[in-house]
Structure 1
Amino acid sequence: MAPAVYAGLQREIADVVVSSRAAAARNVNALMTATWWEIRRRIVQFEQGGEGRAACGEALIRRPATDLSQRFGRGFGWCNLAQMRAFYLGG
């Protein structure tokens, strides 16, 4: 196979890999955004129980934060969950 032909094939394969990786990253980002939004929504619903405001605030997210951190690792501490909740509430 001529070097120029091979170089073209290699470039085309590399383009497919790069394109696929970019698409995968976009899909993962979209799924993670939806996941975080759903976590926020559920925290707020759990805390507020249908009321306009939560009665206990931060205290109610400490236990899920501990449990989620033990199960999934970083990113689920009470501070992160509090920030998720605040973002969901628009603050």
Structure 2
Amino acid sequence: MQATGFIIAFWVALLLISIPVALRTRHPDQKPLAAVAIFIFVFTLVAAGLYLVVSTLVALLGLSDLLRAEKGVAVFLVVVFAPAFVMARWQVHKPPRRAPPLE
């Protein structure tokens, strides 16, 4: 249970860091608030999906004791949050989609 609290605190810290990252890496045509919202949405969605998949695999393989050690938690955090950060940054950097013209 202690590892879960640390993971949530780490997630909140990454979201706070994401605001300047999203503003700095956004596409020039993207509005600042939209860039931050896209970053947070994609980051949260990908991180939650990876968290569920990786934690399920850890439990099924009987490796739950690894998450009691600091190194195990650190590896778990990197496996969950690094791909989420990269994916969110990529989505923010893409140009915004244009709405089709109304007929």
Q: TM-score, normalising length from structure 2?
A: 0.35
Q: TM-score, normalising length from structure 1?
A: 0.39
Structure (1 or 2) with the larger CA radius of gyration: 1
> Comparing both chains, which one has the higher relative contact order based on Cα–Cα distances under 8 Å and sequence gaps of 6 or more?
2
